[in-house]
């Protein structure tokens, strides 16, 4: 496993990280969660990414139980805040950031998180209030560094412009061979400002492993067949996209790689990407994905990927789900 620096911080993260969206605490049982977590440590993975919203706290709670068996300084723990935790509790106000962080720390059984991320922007709250609150929790020793997920360029710049506020070191966008929207503006913008990408869905929720075929039923043990885990896959499950993914199979075989290794190596070819978050329901998936660390793709392979995917690639700037544009000031 190779490691990369997280933005301008002194934190080093593994090129492959383990996430808990749609899986741990929801679609995957505790025994499997523990097996995947232990496999991650065995593979050299040190970054574990979750959110208070995953399973309304259950993902954090399960990881809090499991990770308490490990030396706290041996791993980098990241969580998030924004999405509703109750009818009243949501957003990025000062009160919510303090309240939700304390609840996350209790569930995670730790005194601090290494990275606290704004899960989406909150244009209903003054950006100054959000950034000041994030600075306060850093000053209190509860958070080492801060980041955001799926903010617009305008919103990121507004956060960076708040006087005396803690600076963002990470961005968490969706990014993969098909969804290349971050390349248009986000990645160049962040690279100039010492902000790294920690990307989610690098395998397009499993589609880039090649296991889903156009016109065929999805494998019985796959994410797409799960009510708990398959609801967010519609964009990738069209025959056009699945057919394009199948055209990648001989390219990976010719390069001596699995489809997952090639997809993860493609994401990691971008220097501004610090880590690619994988999801897993079995420990063997963790080990297989970890093999992508350090893999370099030749230009011929990169060109062949572009040709195979053709018109299914999303290249221009695009808003993620649940993102509201705009910035509110005091």
12-14 and 3-5: which strand pairing?
A: antiparallel
SS3 assignment, position 171: strand
* pTM for this predicted structure: 0.93
Q: Bigger pLDDT: 211 or 19? A: 19
What mean pLDDT comes out for the span 233-254? 89
Provide the annotated active-site residues: 54
- Inter-CA distances, 56 with 60, 109, 224, Å: 9, 16, 22
Q: What's residue 23's pLDDT?
A: 67
DSSP conformation letters of 257-297: --HHHHHHHHHHTSTTEEEEEE--SSHHHHHHHHTTTT---
* Structural domains of the chain ordered from first start: 3-204+270-296 (3.20.20.100)
DSSP conformation letters of 65-131: HHHTTS-GGGSEEEEEE-S-SSSS--S--HHHHHHHHHHHHHHHT-S-EEEEEESS--TTS-HHHHH
Q: What's residue 308's pLDDT?
A: 97
229, pLDDT greater than 60: no
| Whole-angstrom distance, CA of residue 243 vs CA of residue 66 | 39
Q: What's residue 211's pLDDT?
A: 84
263, pLDDT greater than 90: yes
Count the Cβ atoms, other than its own, within 10 Å of residue 140.
11
């Amino acid at each position: 496993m190779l490691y990369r620096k997280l933005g301008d911080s002194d934190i080093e993260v593994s090129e492959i990280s383990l996430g808990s969206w749609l899986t741990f605490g929801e679609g995957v049982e505790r025994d499997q969660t523990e097996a995947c977590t232990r496999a991650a440590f065995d593979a050299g993975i040190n970054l574990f990414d979750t959110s208070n919203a995953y399973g309304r706290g259950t993902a954090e709670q399960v990881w809090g139980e499991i990770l308490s068996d490990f030396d706290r300084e041996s791993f980098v723990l990241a969580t998030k805040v924004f999405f509703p935790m109750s009818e009243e509790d949501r957003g990025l106000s000062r009160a919510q950031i303090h309240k939700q962080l304390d609840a996350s720390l209790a569930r995670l059984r730790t005194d601090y998180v290494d990275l606290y991320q704004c899960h989406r922007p909150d244009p209903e709250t003054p950006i100054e209030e959000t950034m000041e609150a994030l600075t306060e929790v850093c000053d209190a020793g509860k958070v080492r560094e801060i980041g955001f997920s799926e903010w617009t360029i305008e919103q990121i710049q507004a956060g960076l412009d708040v006087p005396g506020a803690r600076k963002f070191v990470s961005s968490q966008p969706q990014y993969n061979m098909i969804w290349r929207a971050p390349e248009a503006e986000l990645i160049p913008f962040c690279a100039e400002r010492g902000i790294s990408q920690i990307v989610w869905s690098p395998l397009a929720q499993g589609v880039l492993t090649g296991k889903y075929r156009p016109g065929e039923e999805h494998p019985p043990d796959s994410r797409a067949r799960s009510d708990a885990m398959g609801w967010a896959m519609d964009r990738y499950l069209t025959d056009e996209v699945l057919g394009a993914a199948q055209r990648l199979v001989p390219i990976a075989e010719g390069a001596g790689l699995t489809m997952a290794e090639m997809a993860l190596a493609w994401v990691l070819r971008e220097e501004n990407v610090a880590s690619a978050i994988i999801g897993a329901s079995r420990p063997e998936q963790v080990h297989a994905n970890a093999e992508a660390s350090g893999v370099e793709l030749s230009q011929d392979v990169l060109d062949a990927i572009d040709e195979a995917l053709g018109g299914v690639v999303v290249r221009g700037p695009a808003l993620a789900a649940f993102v509201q544009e705009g910035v509110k000031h005091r």
